[in-house]
Amino acid sequence: MKIKKQHRKKKYLHKLNRKRMHNKQRSTGDVPCKTIKEAWDHKKSALRNLKEMGLANDPNTVIKIPSFKKEQLKKAKQMVNQDDSESEEEVVPRKPPKMEVVEKLEKEAKAPKERRFMLPKGQVEFITYLLDKYGNDYKAMARDKKNYYQETWKQLRAKVKTFMGIPKQYGEYLTARGLLDKELDEEEIKKAAKALVDDD
pLDDT in tens, 12-33: 788 889 899 888 887 767 788 8
Residue 137 domain flag: yes
Largest CA distance in the chain: 86
Model pTM?
0.47
Q: Which domain holds residue 151?
A: 121-196
The answer to whether the beta carbons of residues 177 and 186 sit under 8 Å apart is no
Average pLDDT rounded to a whole number, residues 36-47: 89
Helix (H, G, I), strand (E, B) or coil at 43: coil
Domain boundary among 75, 105, 135: 105
Angle 127-172-140 (CA atoms, 0-180°, nearest 5)?
20
Distance, CA of 188 to CA of 167 (rounded, Å): 9
pLDDT in tens, 142-160: 999 999 999 999 999 999 9
The answer to whether the beta carbons of residues 141 and 163 sit under 8 Å apart is no
Residue 152 domain flag: yes
How far does CA 165 lie from the centroid of its chain?
20
pLDDT in tens, 77-112: 988 887 554 555 566 777 888 889 999 999 999 988
The answer to whether the beta carbons of residues 151 and 139 sit under 8 Å apart is no
Distance, CA of 189 to CA of 37 (rounded, Å): 39
Domain count, the chain: 2
Residue 57 domain flag: yes
The answer to whether the beta carbons of residues 131 and 177 sit under 8 Å apart is no
